[in-house]
Amino acid sequence: MSYADLDIMLLGKTGVGKSRTGNVLLGRDAFRSVATMESVTIKSQKEITILEDGRKLCVVDTPGVVDTRETEEEGKQLFIDAIKAAVLLNPAGYHALIMVLRFGSRFTHEDLNTLQFLKDVFGEKFIKEYCIVVLSNGDNFKRAREEKEIDVPFKEWCKKQGGHFKTIFQEVQERVALFNNVGSPEEKSEQRRQLVAMVDKLGGRRYINPIFKSAMDELEKLRSEKKIPEMAENVQNEISLILYQKDRIKSNLSIDKQLHAMTNLMDRVGSLLGKIDPEENETTELGKLRQLVTDVQLQVELELTQLRLTKDLKEKRPESDEALKTVKLMELELKRITIETEQNNSALIERYQVVRDENNRLWASMILPTLGAILTVGLFVWSKFR
């Protein structure tokens, strides 16, 4: 059975590990934790990745909600801000909402409030039909099992809990996953596979209501007026996928396959530049994105050089002192290139995140003036008109 691409939203209090959970789902460190109390669009992030079965997964990381430092009214406003972010960054709607809680923390009345707010906005059935809970800090659960503090598997542990967690567990129809956000790559990959399977079991429906529809209509209008160039959005998404695949190439492949895949990726980057050039001067965003693609091209070229040098060293058989000197020089060059590759890649990821967030803020702010009243008031009155 084939499934469609997926769009999911992350929701939870500040500090529970939403961004790290999002990074596990994306298969790379794409989200930054933002602790500053800035505007909602600044703290919202959207990324896409490719799943093992070839589907695209879009993940939106929203601002922290219902923080225990806030009053109930302030908590409601934080919740509204988070839903605004979700609507503005992905007006097409969502297949699932992932509510992130921290394993080992006391589950509070504020956590229950999040569920109630969701019901107020989207209706009683929303939690049962679209919500999944992820408990972060799964390494603490693993440690507790090893030290015999917990003597049952995770699902059994969930069923044994009382208090607020029991209510949450029942509300989401026992759809709870445990995430070890600092685990091995293999463990993270398996966690992602299990969560995606859980989302697929929801039935493949996408939640959307008139608020999302209004945002989508406004987005299409702005696109048609070229105020939000579709080319810029497509280029940003393509850069995201190229960065993901660049990192994936070096895992579980022979050196020859890595070289072949990286060469193909270089061709893909070149093709992307060719698409940008005819329209580059139309918008500031495209100009910034073109520079970013050029930076990606330089990084891929550097990693190609690293791979070629690695292959040459593996195939070298020094049979003389002169040949041995050549090998030593090649090893020094490989060490230098490896350090340069890592440093450049870190800087590239940071530049990409800055440009991505600037563009997302800009595009969201263009939609917000038209939808401001709907998003602020309509989110809480929507359930009364269903």
Rounded distance, CA 50 to CA 35, Å? Answer: 28
* pLDDT classification of 1: cutoffs 50, 70, 90: very low
Of 58, 72, 75, 77, nearest in space to 10 by CA: 58
Of 383, 361, 382, 378, nearest in space to 88 by CA: 361
* pLDDT classification of 210: cutoffs 50, 70, 90: confident
- Which of 30-39, 175-184, 227-236, 328-337 has the weakest average pLDDT? 30-39
Q: What are phi and psi of 102, to 5 degrees?
A: -105, 125
Rounded distance, CA 211 to CA 382, Å? Answer: 8
* pLDDT classification of 260: cutoffs 50, 70, 90: very high
* pLDDT classification of 69: cutoffs 50, 70, 90: low
pLDDT of residue 174: 94
Which has the higher per-residue pLDDT, 3 or 349? 349
pLDDT of residue 100: 92
Using DSSP, state whether 132 is helix, strand or coil. strand
Between the two ends of the chain, the Cα-to-Cα distance in Å is: 33
In this prediction, residues 87-96 reach a mean pLDDT of 89
For the full predicted model, state whether its pTM sits above 0.75: yes
pLDDT higher than threshold 70 for residue 281: no
Rounded distance, CA 28 to CA 185, Å? Answer: 10
pLDDT of residue 253: 79
Q: Give the model confidence (pLDDT) of 165-202 as tens digits.
A: 898 899 999 999 999 988 888 899 999 999 999 999 99
What is the average pLDDT value for the chain, to the nearest integer? Answer: 83
Q: Give the model confidence (pLDDT) of 8-28 as tens digits.
A: 999 888 778 888 899 999 988
pLDDT of residue 383: 43
pLDDT higher than threshold 60 for residue 39: no
In this prediction, residues 335-362 reach a mean pLDDT of 89
pLDDT higher than threshold 90 for residue 337: yes
Q: Give the model confidence (pLDDT) of 101-144 as tens digits.
A: 989 888 777 777 778 778 777 777 888 999 999 999 889 998 99
pLDDT of residue 41: 40
Q: Which residue in the block uniquely carries the two structure tokens 């007006």?
A: 91
Which has the higher per-residue pLDDT, 7 or 3? 7
The amino acid present at 53, given as its one-letter code, is D
pLDDT of residue 122: 77
- Which of 247-251, 261-265, 328-332 has the weakest average pLDDT? 247-251
Contact present, 303 and 259 (Cβ < 8 Å): no
- DSSP class of residue 376 equals I
Q: In Å, how far are 230, 276, 317 from 236, measured between CA atoms?
A: 10, 11, 45
Joined together, the tokens standing for residue 27 give: 């298969």
For the beta sheet containing 56-61, the strands, ordered from the edge strand earlier in sequence to the opposite edge, are 45-50, 56-61, 6-11, 96-102, 131-136, 176-178
pLDDT higher than threshold 50 for residue 38: no
pLDDT of residue 67: 53
In this prediction, residues 273-299 reach a mean pLDDT of 83
Q: Percentage of the chain with pLDDT > 70?
A: 87
Contact present, 341 and 302 (Cβ < 8 Å): yes
Q: Give the model confidence (pLDDT) of 214-224 as tens digits.
A: 888 888 888 78
Joined together, the tokens standing for residue 190 give: 């398996």
